[in-house]
Structure 1
């Protein structure tokens, strides 16, 4: 007779949006190593999320790859509905999917502004709204959203990004107040400059005040941010909610 899985997230189900690379990928891997069945999501990068899922399975974990456009309500409802139908629960949501880009404010179109807001804010709203009822029923939930340092420090050529990421601060606090007593915590993790290969739509990273000086002397890695995501997802994270946690090596001091 096999022993119960001793890992702290065994039996939990997690959804990580934008999980094909960087912070999303690392978060998915770490949650799986803690025992969660991780649903790795992308809008269209099927090969990349299948590779993440395959790596999780190769390490002895459980993973499923799913495609959906999180700006489309029906697709989000289908995504979460499929998870609940197959697994019977959804305990952890990591709202990581985002688009960025750089453009001078005078050249910023309304369409470009709305496209960033739609993914970063409306996507997080739709995914979280679909997931929360199951969390409340089970008396356990972790909503972890990835913010952006530009919303706090200011930045040139990323007004659309800074505005969208700033909205997530209020989103996080309001949800914490509404659902904290029901076992659902809600937090915002804000990365600073993270090294490695950035997506084609990310740009160079924006022009920050003071040149974006990092006190520790180097950029971070996706793993640095994912470790905080893991900490918040664990049962021991139940006393942290409504918080904005900065992971930036001293680039910005709240």
Structure 2
């Protein structure tokens, strides 16, 4: 049996990218409920992310709104400078920011391919690099990358998204190996067919190379967030380099 306080993340500072809605918002609020102070990030949806920050504060935790493009190195450096000034470092990073548009492969432009993969991969790289620097200074930390089931089963009209999400698996494993001796664990969560209102960039639910969730329904946002949150807890520190699937059995490795 686990014995811990109701606020196991008290004293921790977390950054959630793409935190204005859906899974990102749920994770930010869950981290606050567990005691962490939270940096909530968005590229442009300031009103939405400000509302999330107010929800964090209503839970009794500190919140910092961080606006910026995670593909822009200068913007990421500025964001982490703001985190340093407000909190003095970082303990938990959840790389959730992504764009998930749909386009038939033969109509996809190189610009669209690069834009999608830049948010997914360049954003994760820049945030993980700056986050890891601060975690090393604090003696350890947790990095969670948000993958997706499309990287494992394929998805019609989403070759760019599936490729970017597959790349996160390699990044996760490499971070796990490189920082194993410095107190940082890195894992990947791969949601699939999560219901609720979808973002404007998400498009329709894609056709994937799978028969769908064997549980016969879409997942709930809180079900995906629960798994992510559990991997941020102190009891999860013996797990690293793993990809955990939250897809109702769409993919079973």
Does residue 131 (structure 1) correspond to residue 131 (structure 2)? The answer is yes
Contact 2:91/2:140 (CA < 8 Å) preserved in 1? yes
Equivalent-residue separation in structure 2 for 1:232 and 1:138 (angstroms): 19
TM-score by length of 1: 0.95
Structural mapping, 1:1-254, within 5 Å: 7-210=7-210, 212-254=211-253
Alpha-carbon deviation of 1:224? Answer: 1.0
Tell me the alpha carbon deviations over residues 189-248 of structure 1, each in whole angstroms, 9 at most, x when there is no partner.
0001000111122111211124x4211111011111111111111111110100000001
Alpha-carbon deviation of 1:76? Answer: 0.1
Tell me the alpha carbon deviations over residues 44-70 of structure 1, each in whole angstroms, 9 at most, x when there is no partner.
111001101111111222212110110
The SS at the match of 2:129 is helix
Contact 2:148/2:190 (CA < 8 Å) preserved in 1? yes
The SS at the match of 1:144 is strand
Equivalent-residue separation in structure 2 for 1:48 and 1:181 (angstroms): 38
Q: Which runs of 5+ in 1 are unaligned?
A: none
Equivalent-residue separation in structure 2 for 1:145 and 1:120 (angstroms): 9
Equivalent-residue separation in structure 2 for 1:99 and 1:37 (angstroms): 26
Aligned length: 249
TM-score by length of 2: 0.96
